[in-house]
Structure 1
Amino acid sequence: MRFMAAYDFMETARNTNAWLGATARTMGSYPALALAPHPAFRLMAAWGEVTERTFQRMVVKPDWNILPIPGADDQDHVVTPRIEMPRPFGDLVRFEVQGRAPMERRILLVAPMSGHYATLCRSTVASLLPDADVWVTDWHNARDIPVSCGKFDVEDYTLYLTDFMRHLGPDVNVIAVCQPAPLTLAATALLAEQEPKAQPSTLTLIGGPIDPDAARTEVTDFGRRVTMGQLEQSMVQRVGFQHAGAGRMVYPGLLQLASFMSMNAETHGTAFWNQIMAVANGSASDHDKHNRFYDEYLAVMDMPAEFYLSTVERIFKGLEVAQNRFTVAGHMIDIGSITDVAVKTVEGGRDDISAPGQCVAALDLLTGLPDAKKASYLEPEAGHYGIFAGRSWRKNIRPLVLDFIDANAGRPVPKRRGSKRQGPEAPGGENVHAFPV
């Protein structure tokens, strides 16, 4: 698998399917066929439209498209994402709310590097902006990063996070979603040891695999079954010549997409068939629920091979964070060195990616933190997606997180303005596999 030919074969297959969809849509829409109003032609055109859109979205980085934010002055303020700290493998992006004074709450949202772009957290960002200034880690597609930029593994990821936190200062509140939770915890501990004044004010860990052995899931079972050699041979490919990162070893986005769609194949198959019928019946629209969700869900990015392999080997197999022996640049980090940062964990009762128990394990590692600065919350009916971007996040979890931030900043809990729902909504419920490793 570790050849450009394998990578280019997948891209060729994607291109071919997009072409087949476009061809079917065009042929089924010929004006002359209207003289023979057979439903098969309409169905052909509908299948082609959905197929073409599906395979085209796989190589498009979505825009943030955050709607204007209502302010205390009863005006809507335009939101503009700006790169504040550029880096080869990922930028620190700030969402500037035009014409609004700086907010007391400052939040860094650590988005996952696990197959999707940071824009999958669009609705999370949009829900926080009315009440805070927000920054996000915007990771780059590895296929667009030249080989000359070097490697990027879990240690580099951790150092990126420490640089971002140091830049934002001690009054920032960090929220880590899923995959980066253990590395964000390690980055905070590293700052506690080396630059205590640069630590964030609070740390919220949402659905992250701090201790993958605390609760078994299909993801953790896969990590135990497959050896690192098998993983490298079957999952790693070399970027083809048509991209700036030609020659870089990656875990391809298209391979990831095939993997985690197969985990919910029946749900996805039903959703696409229903959309084809909706297009054929004329009841679909460009921005309906299906398109909003899948335009985001299907947009995947390549992951640096060394990051993917080191995540599996050190976080899932080696349990280095879970056992408090994670090292960065030869230095073993002691998570117990965190003594001032308030830490909250959030889990979903129906989360089958990071099952309940995996994230709350972080609190046991914080041996130097007073119990008064520890908190945990379990949303019983929420799946993986719901705890950071779905209905459960909007209605229950977001208010609790903001209250947690205020309580540890010594501020009274203010009256908040409502936030508009933005971003994709999972079809058929919220328990959709969004971030499998």
Structure 2
Amino acid sequence: MRYMYTYDLMETARNTNEWLGATARAMASYPAFALSMNPVLPLMAAWGEVTERAFSRMVVKPDWGIRSIVGPDGQDHLVDIVPEVEKPFGSLIKFSVRRRAPMARKVLLVAPMSGHYATLLRSTVASLLPDADVYVTDWHNARDIPVSAGKFDVEDYTLYLVDFMRALGPDTHVIAVCQPAPLTLAATAYLAAEDPAAQPRSLTLIGGPIDPDAAATDVTDFGRRITMGQLEQIAIQRVGFKHKGAGRLVYPGLLQLQSFMSMNADRHSKAFSEQIMRVSRGEASDHDAHNRFYDEYLAVMDMTAEFYLSTVERIFKNREIALNAFVVNGKRVDIGAITNVAVMTVEGANDDISAPGQCVAALKMLTGLPEEKKANHLEPGAGHYGIFAGKSWRLNIRPLVLGFIDAHSGAPVPAGKRVKLASV
């Protein structure tokens, strides 16, 4: 499948469905048809509206939509998105709050590169902004990156995180959500060995596959069953001439979306059927619950082939992070080298993507870190999304994370002095 025609065939199908939706909406809304009492026409217009919106959102990067926050003075403070570090495959952006002095907490939120844009963490960012200066890794869509920019695999991803942490300085508190958790742990260990002064104050790992074999899920089962050759044949395609990244090998976002939707096909089918009926009755709105969710869920991005394949092979199949055998730039990254950075893990009891046990495995690997700098939290009844953006995050996990950050905001104790105190 590593051909441009398969990539363009999916885009052709998407474009055609968007056009059919727009056509049906326009035709069924023709003023002369208002004289008819045929109930099919409102349904046809509603189907067209929902279909056009759904297929058009698949190729559009969502907006962050964070315009302002209310400050402690009761006034609204406008929020600007400012690039801090710009690189071909991803940028470090800051949510700059106007007329606000620098906050005591500086948080780097590491967003997943797993099919959706960093805007998936919109509610997480909004919840942290009143209490911290927030920076986010904003990964770019691989289809828009020229082949001349080179490759981007798990080692490059790790080095990007290293550069972002260096740019922010040692008073940073890092929060990694889901997919980037193992690579963020590796980036921190890399800094511990190569540039200790640039290490962050704390590291919070939320629902990430540090050790995929610690608890089985459909994701880990799939990784065991399929061979790398099979995966390359069924998942990798070449970007078409329509985009700047023409010729680049990618795991297409549209193909990823097909997998996402098929996992809960009945639920998605019901959601769209109900939305069509609401639109036909005039009960829907531009920003209702359905549109808020699917405008984000349907917006997908391509991943470079080398990043996707190396993630499956090195993180899931070979378990290089879990076995402390990960290599970056020819150097083995020793997780045990982390001795000053406080580390907290957060898991959801009902997480079916990164099941409980996968993330907390990081704490056992931190052999050089004192127990008082380790923490873990298992959130009862929480699924994967809930532990970083849902009710569980808002009510329980966010306060715990901020408390952990505050408890470890001081300058780290020198290694020699800390060991001496621990032995007393």
How high is the TM-score relative to the length of structure 2? 0.96
Distance 1:193 1:408 in 2: 21
Cα shift readout 1:92-111 (whole Å, capped 9, x = no counterpart): 00010011000000000000
Shift of 1:28: 1.3
- Structure 2 residue 233 is the aligned partner of structure 1 residue 221: no
Q: Secondary structure at the match of 1:243?
A: coil
The alignment-based identity, stated in percent, is: 75
Q: Secondary structure at the match of 2:151?
A: coil
Cα shift readout 1:141-176 (whole Å, capped 9, x = no counterpart): 000000000000000000000000011011000000
Partner residue, 1:249: 249
Q: Secondary structure at the match of 2:323?
A: coil
Distance 1:246 1:137 in 2: 24
Distance 1:263 1:223 in 2: 16
Distance 1:259 1:203 in 2: 31
Cα shift readout 1:256-299 (whole Å, capped 9, x = no counterpart): 00001111111111111111111011100000011011101100
Distance 2:212 2:307 in 1: 17
Partner residue, 1:346: 346
Distance 1:49 1:383 in 2: 32
Distance 2:400 2:321 in 1: 26
Q: Counterpart of 1:259 in structure 2: which amino acid?
A: S
Q: Counterpart of 1:276 in structure 2: which amino acid?
A: I
Partner residue, 1:113: 113
Q: How does 1:1-400 map to 2 (within 5 A)?
A: 1-400=1-400
Distance 1:202 1:232 in 2: 37
Distance 2:355 2:277 in 1: 35
Cα shift readout 1:7-52 (whole Å, capped 9, x = no counterpart): 0000000000001111111121111211111211111110110000
Shift of 1:122: 0.6
| Consecutive aligned runs of 4 or more in structure 1 exceeding 2 Å deviation | none
Distance 2:282 2:349 in 1: 38
Distance 1:365 1:60 in 2: 40
Cα shift readout 1:346-374 (whole Å, capped 9, x = no counterpart): 01111111011100000010011111000
How high is the TM-score relative to the length of structure 1? 0.93
* Farther off after superposition, 69-78 or 227-236: 69-78
Q: Which runs of 5+ in 2 are unaligned?
A: 412-424
Distance 2:106 2:230 in 1: 43
Q: Counterpart of 1:154 in structure 2: which amino acid?
A: V
Distance 1:325 1:37 in 2: 70
Shift of 1:73: 2.0
Q: Secondary structure at the match of 2:386?
A: coil
Distance 2:102 2:396 in 1: 26
Distance 1:215 1:172 in 2: 31
Shift of 1:410: 4.8
Distance 1:392 1:361 in 2: 22
**Aligned residue pairs: how many?**
411
Q: Secondary structure at the match of 2:11?
A: helix
Cα RMSD of the aligned pairs, angstroms, is 0.9
